[in-house]
Amino acid sequence: MSDIDPRAIVSPSARLGKCVKVAACAVVGEDVELGDGCVLEPHAVVKGPSTFGRNNHFHSFCIVGGDPQDYTYTGQPVRLEAGEGNEFREFCTVHRGTLKGDGTTRMGSNSLIMAYAHIGHDCNIGNNVTLINGAQLAGHSRVEDYATLSSFVLVHQFTRIGAYSYIGAGTIITQDVPPFSLIVSSRETRCYGVNRVGMERRGFSPERIKQIEQAFRFLLRSKLNTSQALEKMRGTLSDSEDVSSLIRFIESTTERGLTK
């Protein structure tokens, strides 16, 4: 017996398995088939035509099975097909296929689609795939089993992501990713100086800012290493509480290191 909150919206054409839970304000659209044990949290939206296996979990404000974002789509009965045990977190989006892509977006089982991630039309997602927050798959992408896409990874359409690969945060993928590989964009993050405008807006005096700027010159512009720069700050700027705070922060930096 399913548990349908009276405030939920369930289409008459939807087909629900055993022990399905649909919470308040959730929507189950036309021609949606939910397997046994599926759960829709409040405000989750599942649209069809789409088919889901058992124990899929749709969190609040996800939209799964939405219309494809494609200019050629004009209402054709395209589909989404998903396996079992997938987790669709808040605000993620998964779109149905288009006729150009045989009409179907496909997902396997036991994948985790985190908040704000997107799976475009006609994608083919394997089993045990992880899309971390904000990862974006353009249409016709293929992601093989156990691949992980970290935060804000962007994948170009028709690209393949190989099995067991890991793509680091913020990486833009325009070519196929080999199975078993570790992929990341080059990281050139560096410190360019102090946030003078921000400090002025917060009422820092010119003298306070001058002392902080001097500390950063020791840290970034001199030929001193970090330890030597800290000693120089202590020797010449010890009366500045701001600089003392900077020193304490640098000394407590973890094994991740300091951006310089």
Catalytic entry in 48, 65, 122, 134:
122
Cis peptide bond N-terminal to 178, omega within 30 = no
Q: CB burial class (10 A; 0-12, 13-18, 19+) of residue 85?
A: buried
Pairing relationship of beta strands 142-143 and 182-183 according to DSSP bridges: unpaired
Across-strand partners of 80? 50, 105
The one catalytic residue among 43, 95, 118, 121: 121
Options 29, 97, 126, 139, the catalytic residue: 139
Q: How far is CA 155 from the centre of its chain?
A: 12
* Nearest Cα residue to 175 out of 191, 159, 162: 159
Measured CA to CA, the distance from residue 104 to residue 53 in angstroms comes to 16
Q: Is 121 a catalytic residue?
A: yes
Q: Is 85 a catalytic residue?
A: no
**Active centre residues (catalytic):** 121-122, 139
